[in-house]
Amino acid sequence: MSDPLWPDVALHVVSGKGGTGKTTVAAAMALSLARDGRRVLLIEVEGRQGIAQLFDTPPLPYEERKVAVASGGGEVWALAIDAQEALLDYLETFYNLKRAGSALRKMGAVDFATTIAPGLRDVLLTGKAIEIVRRKSKGDARAYDAVVMDAPPTGRVAKFLNVNSEVSGLAKVGPIRNHADLVMGVIASPLTVVHLVTLLEEMPVQETIDGVAELRANDLPVGGIIVNMTRPPVLTDEQMVLALADALPGGEIEASLQACGLGGHVDAIVPALLHEAADHAHRVALERREMERIAELGLPTFTLPQLSGGVDLGGLYELAELLHEGGLG
């Protein structure tokens, strides 16, 4: 087991191309970070209720709820941040304007701020997350040992996190600017890391490489790469070379099939197995090429397997264990 890679990080942002399983990875990460009695908050910001579905709980309200107990007695809490609620929350917290909030809602101003102008929406969403990251409980301890955010996809995440540049065109001074500066002070600091989830396929890997470059260009702290849904090779390298050359020994395979009671219709089985082997070898070769491109990034890399039965609660704990062993914490 490795030492934790990010012992002092308070906010783990998880992004990835659509379909790579970033919500699943974020949840597993929360479970891993909550081991041994720690308290972790898992946040979603896209209104998808993906966390509730993963943990098999009713839809999450705009309120922190305990959703799971981690190995060793830790706790995972969850929160679905809704931009409209976050705006009203913000008005109330900073300006004591709860009633004005409902008037604004009626005027369509809340809808404006949260949907028509999602630049403000992003400041509200990240702002709420940062408020929680900074929140203290008793004494000077943080309310949560870590916060994990299931963030927007890779193509949008740098822009989402770089709230400063998002509002800079809008507000050079004033309250929005101050709020954005406060948020940025945490996001672009050693308190935060951004992890990217990928599959070993060309497009997600390319998007990951582009995403890392974009994060770095924006001075946002890049954490690790999580290679998700991998399937280990079933054949040896030598066998795969033969499979690709269509040179696997069909006669010997037929003899073995006879020996294990599958000799009934070898005429259909042998070609099918040979074709599947070639297909498999082709895919493994492709995956290895993509893995090399990931390795060139020089970032801590975690490899998670494809869960044969799909992702369920048990599967999440399995993935959390693997992340822990890889040094997540």
Partner 1 sequence: MSAHTIGRAPRLQIDTLLNDPTIHIIVCTGAGGVGKTTTAAALGLRAAELGRNVCVLTIDPAKRLAQAMGLSELDNTPRQVPGVCSPDGSGSLFAMMLDMKRTFDEVVESHADPERAEQILNNPFYQALSSSFAGTQEYMAMEKLGQLRTRAEQEGTWDLIIVDTPPSRSALDFLDAPARLGSFLDGRFIRILTAPARGAGNALGRLAAVGFGIFTNVLTKILGTQVLADLGTFVAAIDTTFGGFRERADATYALLKDPGTSFVVVAAPERDALREAAYFVERLRTDDMPLTGLVLNRMQQVDDPDLTAEQAASGAQLLHERLSAGDAGGNDALTAALLELHAQRVLMADRQMHLADRFTAAHPGVAVASVPALAGDVHDLPGLREIGDLLAGPSTD
Which residues in 236-275 contact partner 1 (CB under 8 A)?
Answer: 239, 248-249, 251-262, 265, 268-269, 271-275
Q: Where does this chain touch partner 1 (CB under 8 A) — which range of 57-65, 135-143, 168-176, 184-192?
A: 168-176
Token readout for 55 is: 């943990």
Contact track, partner 1, 217-236, x by CB under 8 A: --------------x--xx-
For residues 193 and 195, what is the distance between their CA atoms, to the nearest angstrom?
A: 6
Q: What is the DSSP letter of 327?
A: T
Enter the tokens of residue 34: 């909550």
Name the minimum Å distance from CB 192 to partner 1: 21
- Give the helix ranges, DSSP H, for the chain: 22-33, 50-55, 83-95, 98-107, 109-111, 118-134, 154-161, 163-168, 175-187, 202-217, 237-244, 250-259, 266-295, 313-325
Give the residue with the Cβ less far from partner 1, 97 or 322.
97
- Determine the straight-line distance between the first and last CA of the chain, rounded to whole angstroms: 10
DSSP secondary structure of 188-205: TSTTEEEEEEE-SSHHHH
Question: Residue from 103, 213, 245, 247 that binds partner 1 (CB under 8 A)?
Answer: 103
* 66-74, 142-150, 161-169, 185-193 -> range binding partner 1 (CB under 8 A): 161-169
d(CA 134, CA 4): 22
Q: Which of 202, 183, 203 is nearest to 285 (CA)?
A: 202
Amino acid at 63: E
Contact between 309 and partner 1 (CB under 8 A)? yes
201 binds partner 1 (CB under 8 A): yes
- Nearest-approach distance from CB 80 to partner 1, in angstroms: 13
Q: Is 173 in the site for partner 1 (CB under 8 A)?
A: yes
Q: How many residues bind partner 1 (CB under 8 A)?
A: 85
| Residue with smaller CB distance to partner 1, 189 or 258 | 258
* Residue 176 contacts partner 1 per CB under 8 A: yes
Q: How far is the CB of 320 from partner 1 (least distance, A)?
A: 19
Among 69, 286, 295, 313, the residue binding partner 1 under the rule CB under 8 A is: 286
- What's the min distance (Å) between Cβ of 304 and partner 1? 15
- Please compute, for residue 247, the number of CA atoms within 13 A of its CA located in the half-sphere on the CB side: 7
Question: Is residue 91 at the binding interface for partner 1, with CB under 8 A as the rule?
Answer: yes
Residues of this chain, 2-41, that bind partner 1 according to CB under 8 A: 17-20, 23
The span from the CA of 41 to the CA of 43, in Å, is 6
DSSP state of 151: P
Pick from 127, 153, 223, 326: which binds partner 1 (CB under 8 A)? 153
Using alpha carbons only, what angle is made at residue 70 by residues 64 and 72, rounded to the nearest 5 degrees? 135
Q: How many CB atoms lie within 10 A of CB 47?
A: 10
- Per-residue binder mask for partner 1 (CB under 8 A), 123-142, x = binder: --------------------
95 lies in the site for partner 1, by CB under 8 A:
yes
Binding flag, residue 177, partner 1 (CB under 8 A): yes
Min separation Cβ 184 and partner 1, Å:
16
Q: Which is nearer to partner 1, 165 or 303 (CB)?
A: 165
Site for partner 1 in 41-80 (CB under 8 A): 46-48, 50, 53
Q: Say whether 115 sits in a helix, a strand or coil.
A: helix
**Is there binding between residue 202 and partner 1 (CB under 8 A)?**
yes
Q: Is 98 in the site for partner 1 (CB under 8 A)?
A: no
Distances (CA, A) of 191 to 145, 146, 262, 285: 11, 10, 59, 38
Answer yes or no whether residue 112 interacts with partner 1 by CB under 8 A: yes
42 has which bridge partners? 78, 148
